[in-house]
Amino acid sequence: MHIHILGICGTFMGGLATIARQAGHKVSGCDANVYPPMSTQLQAQGIDLVEGYGAEQVALKPDLWVIGNVVTRGTPLMEEILDRGESYVSGPQWLAENVLRSKWVLAVAGTHGKTTTSAMLAWILEAAGKHPGFLIGGVPKNFGISARLTDSRFFVIEADEYDTAFFDKRSKFLHYHPRTAILNNLEFDHADIFSDLEAIERQFHHFVRTIPRSGQLLVNGADAALARVLAQGCWTPIEQFGTDDSWNAELMEGEAFRVKFAGQEQGRVNWALQGEHNRFNALAAIAAARHTGVDPESACAALARFDNVKRRMELRGTVAGITVYDDFAHHPTAIAKTVAGLRRKIGAARILAVLEPRSNTMKLGVMKDAIAGSLADADLVFCYSANLGWNPASALAPLGARAACHEDLDALIAAIAAASSTGDQVLIMSNGGFGGIHQKLLDRLKADHD
């Protein structure tokens, strides 16, 4: 079958394209912005890409059009598909009907930590010899790819609450029908499609309704919003993590920790990943893997070899003793946890936090009042303020002279370089490419210090 994917360069749709190709389909696709690394990753799979959504693509005559949620009414190609009455389906629906139906699906949902926890879970299953398929919204370094299809009965998926398509406004995760599901945490996000936290809680309740009584829910027991979700009804056995009487972590030296369940030690994780949030992610992954038959001690041993996900506190380079990190954090809670994790690691060394408010929620300014607080533990803060409909300088005013905003990327890089000195840790946070700032900053630092 020939499948043509609209919006193919997104992380989910690009992963879906890879899986469809591995399943033996001819796959092509289009996007408004076709550029590396996703474009090169797809082309390496033998997938042809077209720039833009021109109506002339109907001449490709695919058997099925798969529509990403970036596509809207008024898009020329979509309008032509509708006028011709051709067959089309959303990405999540195609995945559910063609791949997930025959699998034991392990889904990871939540506002934060979905990608990292999914990667941990997939790696634990891999280390246990279960060779899972997966579709993850990032690239786990242990695998080097974001998606794969295998003949295993197990499939790990990052379960996103964002809407499915312009013609299906349900959350994506309602299509997946998992047997094992993790609910990591729940906060207000995606302000472009949800009016408030209660609206998101309702979608999570609908998700819970899809999990069978023979399944397993692993739930953050310290999260009040998730407690409200479960209070709306639950028909599946629940295990909690993050509370004293359930799955919990006891910190040891450095970032190593003991894993306990109901007060009994299950194993020890010896790793360098930073922060309580990653310990919670690990607990969830260990508990979910146990549901498939992996004993917790083996899961802990696997996590000692877990190499994290690209763009999660990823070291990009060091010049003249100045260290530059790349992190995906773009929600105030995630920003605060990322900064706190780095602070625990480096002690009194200076943190220069660099933020691009790029997500739809951040661009709308819905969370602007929380940004200063989330960056309070940084020594200096630099904000890229281009293309925002609100004033970040005002939002960061509580930080006083520690914060500066720049609308020009080159000026921003120059300011960071001028403020940096040996021993500093530069933490760059964005959910996009940020104009290649990481390498540009490293090049600037090298030029300055040479």
- 417-449 pLDDT per residue, tens: 999 999 999 999 887 778 889 999 999 999 888
Instruction: Let me know whether 191 and 69 are in one domain.
Output: no
Instruction: Let me know whether 139 and 169 are in one domain.
Output: yes
Total domains, the chain: 3
Instruction: Let me know whether 103 and 80 are in one domain.
Output: no
In a domain, 12, yes or no: yes
Looking at residue 431, its pLDDT comes to: 79
Of residues 332 and 6, the one with the higher pLDDT is 6
| Mean pLDDT of the region 274-286 | 91
Looking at residue 363, its pLDDT comes to: 65
Range of the domain at 405: 314-449
In a domain, 51, yes or no: yes
Instruction: Let me know whether 251 and 144 are in one domain.
Output: yes
In a domain, 195, yes or no: yes
Confidence (pTM): 0.83
Looking at residue 121, its pLDDT comes to: 98
Is 66:1 a contact under the CB 8 Å cutoff?
no
Flag whether pLDDT at 45 surpasses 90. Answer: no
CA nearest neighbour of 252 among 237, 262, 267, 263: 267
Spatial distance between the Cα atoms of 328 and 314, rounded to a whole number of angstroms: 9
Instruction: Let me know whether 260 and 157 are in one domain.
Output: yes
CA nearest neighbour of 16 among 94, 82, 71, 78: 94
Flag whether pLDDT at 13 surpasses 80. Answer: yes
How many Cα atoms within 13 Å fall on the side-chain side of residue 302?
25
CATH number of the CATH domain containing 6? 3.40.50.720
Of residues 366 and 168, the one with the higher pLDDT is 168
Instruction: Let me know whether 283 and 192 are in one domain.
Output: yes
Spatial distance between the Cα atoms of 121 and 137, rounded to a whole number of angstroms: 14
Instruction: Let me know whether 174 and 279 are in one domain.
Output: yes
Paired tokens of 279: 């310990």
| Mean pLDDT of the region 110-137 | 95
Encode pLDDT of 60-81 as tens digits. 999 999 999 999 999 999 999 9
Instruction: Let me know whether 258 and 339 are in one domain.
Output: no
Instruction: Let me know whether 165 and 270 are in one domain.
Output: yes
Looking at residue 327, its pLDDT comes to: 87
Encode pLDDT of 152-173 as tens digits. 999 999 999 989 999 999 999 9
Instruction: Let me know whether 205 and 297 are in one domain.
Output: yes
Q: Which of 278, 303, 328 is the last residue of a domain?
A: 303
Looking at residue 256, its pLDDT comes to: 92
Instruction: Let me know whether 17 and 164 are in one domain.
Output: no
Looking at residue 83, its pLDDT comes to: 98
Dmax (CA) of the chain: 64
Instruction: Let me know whether 104 and 18 are in one domain.
Output: no
In a domain, 282, yes or no: yes
Is 53:29 a contact under the CB 8 Å cutoff?
no
Flag whether pLDDT at 302 surpasses 80. Answer: yes
CATH number of the CATH domain containing 323? 3.90.190.20
In a domain, 308, yes or no: no
Using CB atoms within 10 Å of the CB of residue 224, give its burial: 0 to 12 exposed, 13 to 18 middle, 19+ buried: exposed
Q: Which residues have a Cβ under 8 Å from the Cβ of 36 and sit 6 or more positions away?
A: none
Flag whether pLDDT at 133 surpasses 90. Answer: yes
Looking at residue 191, its pLDDT comes to: 65
Mean of the per-residue pLDDT values for the chain? 91
